[in-house]
Structure 1
Amino acid sequence: MGQTLRLGRVAGIPVGVHWSVLVIMALLVQGLATSVLPTSAAGQPAWAYWTMAVAAAVLFLVSLLAHELAHALVARRYGIRVQRVTLWLLGGVAELTDEAPHARADLFVAAAGPLTSVLAGAAFAGSAVVTTVAGAPAVLTAALIWLALINGVLAIFNLLPGAPLDGGRVLRAVLWRVRGDRDRASLAAARAGHGLGLVLVMAGLAEVLFTGRLRGLWMALVGWFLVSAATAEEAGARYRSMLGQVPVREVMNPYPLSGNPEQSVGDFARTVASRAHHRAFPLRDWYGRPAGVVRLADVARVPADARERTPLSQVATQPDQVPVVSASRPAAEIAPALARYGLVLVVEDDLLVGVVSEADMVRATELAGHS
């Protein structure tokens, strides 16, 4: 999940937001200002509703960020590397580079987010009691009550037992502990998430068809996301079960065609992109270090008359937004990053030595299945 706007770092972890957050912000503010707050605190001026709606929406995003940072910070406690935390349309995501070292760590990392949401909900509920006793404006109390409820709903929803929800991670940790097999536990959690997603899709579409309420589309969208993410997680679990500890260097393409960040888009299209049927290419600087990824879609967006004066660095995905792994790392562990980005850069002694695409992983698993 790429970050449109970087907000800075918390404990060294890059924090940012995706552009789709604007959508959820607009929906939240509109719903709060025109429906939720006027119903809960009637008789207030319109400006009060809109002002409080904006404040409540911002506080909700802050609580979402706290939820994801809790995952990230607990993960760091167990030596799991965190690439970044990003807020987006359907909530947030803490992107972890490594797998949990054991079931206990997996459980604590998964539970940290919902626990944070419960604590946030309790804090907002307590604040609502204080404002009521203090005689504060009713619209403020209404906003605090909404924040308490929405954080409670967030915690409950995330604890549903299906990956990639936190409840799915908890389920995986418990099964891992009981069965002693992380791969089987991951497969079970992913399949549960797939089933849960299908139920949400069907329930959302049924609500639209039988009641005419368009909010069902939102439920269907969430369900579709769960199905997609669970499918990727199931593929990752299968990679782990088939590849075991096979290192990335045995799966990667060691001779990838690459561009240079200072190279013009036009020159790259003629000398590199035209020589292969790939849709994404790594960039390396003059020292041989990874310098990002450029996709054909990025090249296509540059007007023809501007390609000779536009450097690849201007249109490419920047290095800190691209997964980079060591050649000695087990290939199965890069499956989540590969599912998200489609291409993983491989380094040795800080130099780019290869890339891994989804096609490379499929080929490796097919060979493993025949060995």
Structure 2
Amino acid sequence: MRQSIRLVRVKGIPIGVHWSALAMLVLIVTVLALRVLPTAAGDPSTAAVWAVAIPTGAVFLGSLLAHEAAHAVVARRHGIRVKSVTLWLLGGVAELQDEPADWRTDLRVAIAGPATSLVIGATATVAAFTAQAGGAPGLLTLTLMWTGVVNLVLGVFNLLPGAPLDGGRVLRALVWRRTGDRVRAAGSAAEAGRRLGWAFLILGVLLVFFGVVMDGLWFVLVGWFVVVAARAEAQQGALTTSLAGLTVAQIMTPHPDTIASWSSVAAADRVALTSRQTVFPVLDIDAVPVGAVTLGLLGAVPEPLRRSTRAAALVLPVPAALAPEEPAGHALAALQGGPVTVFVAQEGRLVGMVTGDDINRVLQQAPLRERKL
């Protein structure tokens, strides 16, 4: 998930928020101000309620960041690269660039987030009871109690056994331990997540039917997200299986058609119209790739500008080039960040590229390779 607002970098990890997290903040603050905090002892004023609701909502977002940061920190300690930590509408995402090396690492990374939420929840709950015993204002006591309960619920919810929840990762690690097969374990976690998501959807529909509309719609939203994400996990597992044992050289498009960076778009048309590619490496005068252009970008340049616009002005950035002998899974990981292609280079020279079309072709060829074996 791409970050809309970059907040900070912690030990090299970008921490940010997606724009949808702002909607979550508004929703939380509104619920606090209109439904939760007005019930505090002492009959607090509207101004006091809103003055407390806003920072409390921000503190809750901070607890979500702590949850995801815990995953990232534990992953880094085990040599797993972390791309980013991002908050969005339904919580947070810690994007890992590498897969855990063994089931123990998988389990430790998975459990770190829920454990952090449970610790925060328990601490806030104890603080609430302590504040109440000490005669603190009812608004403060209720705020601490809400923060504690919500984090406890968050920790328990994330431990439900189904991908993409942390409990799904825990399930994957345990099945991996029992079977010794990570791919099979991932498939089991994805299937459990799909069933869990449908259970949430059905529960949400029933709640709406019986008049509990807001809670029902929330369960429907969460269920839909879990089902979609579980399906994506299953597809990822299928891709990982398909690429197992293959090298980048075996899946790449070798010696692709290229476009010179100094060429005009009109000149690039001649290459694009005679090629079967939809993505083209752009090379500088030393034949070094400087980026890529797509058919869509070339076609979007207006006719009056096609002779004066250079291909270099249209290039899209690409990840660092891979070597032909690297595992094919490295190309899949590089493409997951959203680039249109990843280049393959040997001794500094372009020898191929891998695009989403290449990955899809390998996926479709998988049954043929299995029959051949």
- TM (norm. structure 1) is 0.82
Task: Say which is worse superposed, 65-74 or 202-211, in terms of deviation.
Answer: 202-211
Q: Note the C-alpha offset of 1:125.
A: 1.7
For the residues of structure 2 that align with 1:324 and 1:130, how far apart are their CA atoms?
Answer: 57
Q: Is the Cα–Cα contact under 8 Å of residues 183 and 237 in structure 1 kept in the other structure?
A: yes
Give SS of 2:246's match: coil
Structure 2 match to 1:12: 12
Hey, what's the Cα distance between the residues in 1 that align with 2:147 and 2:335? Answer: 36
Q: Residue type of the partner of 1:355?
A: V
What displacement does 1:133 show? Answer: 3.5
What SS does the aligned partner of 1:43 have?
Answer: coil
The change in CA–CA distance for 1:197 and 1:127 in structure 2 (over 3 A counts) is same
The equivalences for 1:163-242 within 5 A come to 163-242=163-242
Matched, 1:252 2:249: no
SS in 1 for 2:162: coil
The alignment status of 1:369 with 2:349, answered yes or no, reads no
- Pairing 1:62–2:88 present: no
Cα distance, 1:127–1:3 mapped onto 2, change above 3 Å: same
- Give 1 or 2 for the bigger CA radius of gyration: 2
Are the counterparts in 2 of residues 294 and 312 from structure 1 also a CA contact under 8 Å? no
Question: Is the CA contact 2:343–2:354 (under 8 Å) kept in the aligned structure 1?
Answer: yes
The question of whether the paired residues in 2 share the 8 Å contact of 1:245 and 1:332 is answered with no
Distance in 2, Cα, partners of 1:48 & 1:60: 18
SS in 1 for 2:92: strand
Segments of 5+ residues of structure 1 without an aligned counterpart are none
Contact kept in structure 2, 1:236 and 1:335, CA below 8 Å: no
Deviation at residue 31 of structure 1 after TM alignment: 0.3
| Distance in 2 separating the partners of 1:277 and 1:58 | 51
Counterpart in 2 of 1:120? Answer: 120
> What is the Cα deviation at residue 204 of structure 1?
1.3
1:236-315 correspondence runs (5 A): 236-254=236-254, 286=284, 288=288
C-alpha separation in 2, matches of 1:159 and 1:184: 20
Amino acid at match of 1:363: R
Could you say if the C-alpha distance between residues 258 and 86 of structure 1 is closer, same or farther in structure 2, counting changes exceeding 3 Å?
farther
Q: Equivalent of 2:328, from 321, 327, 331?
A: 331
CA distance in 2, matches of 1:156, 1:208: 24
CA drift of 1:99 comes to 0.7
What TM-score comes out, normalization by structure 2 length? 0.82
**Per-residue deviation, 1:210:** 2.9
CA distance in 2, matches of 1:304, 1:137: 70
Q: Where does the alignment leave 5 or more consecutive residues of structure 2 unmatched?
A: none
1:345 aligns with 2:342: yes
Shift of 1:136: 2.7
Equivalent residues of 1:84, 1:94 under 8 A apart: yes
Structure 1 residues 223 and 86 mapped into 2: Cα distance closer, same or farther (>3 Å)?
Answer: same
Give the structure 2 partner of residue 136 of structure 1: 136
Amino acid of the residue matched to residue 358 of structure 2? Answer: D
**Alpha-carbon spacing, 1:216–1:186, altered in 2? closer, same or farther (3 Å):** same
Q: Assess if the C-alpha contact under 8 Å between 1:261 and 1:284 holds in 2.
A: yes
Q: Aligned residues: percent identity?
A: 42
Question: Is the Cα contact below 8 Å between 1:232 and 1:336 reproduced in 2?
Answer: no
Q: Deviations over 1:129-172 (max 9, x none)?
A: 33324433211211111110111111111111011110000000
Contact preservation (8 Å) 2:317, 2:339: no
SS in 1 for 2:364: helix
Alignment partner of 1:355 is 2:354? yes
Question: 1:364 corresponds to which letter in structure 2?
Answer: V
The DSSP-based 3-state class of the residue aligned with 1:355 is strand
Q: Is the 8 A contact 2:335 2:342 kept in 1?
A: no
8 Å contact kept, 1:344–1:356: yes
* Count of aligned pairs: 365
- Give the Cα separation in 1 of the matches to 2:262 and 2:141: 55
CA distance in 1, matches of 2:339, 2:263: 23
Q: How large is the Cα RMSD of the aligned pairs? A: 3.8
What secondary structure is seen at the aligned counterpart in 1 of 2:210?
helix
Inter-CA distance 43–13: structure 2 relative to 1 (3 Å threshold) = same
Cα pair distance change 1:179/1:146, threshold 3 Å: same
Distance in 2, matches of 1:341 and 1:360, equals 15
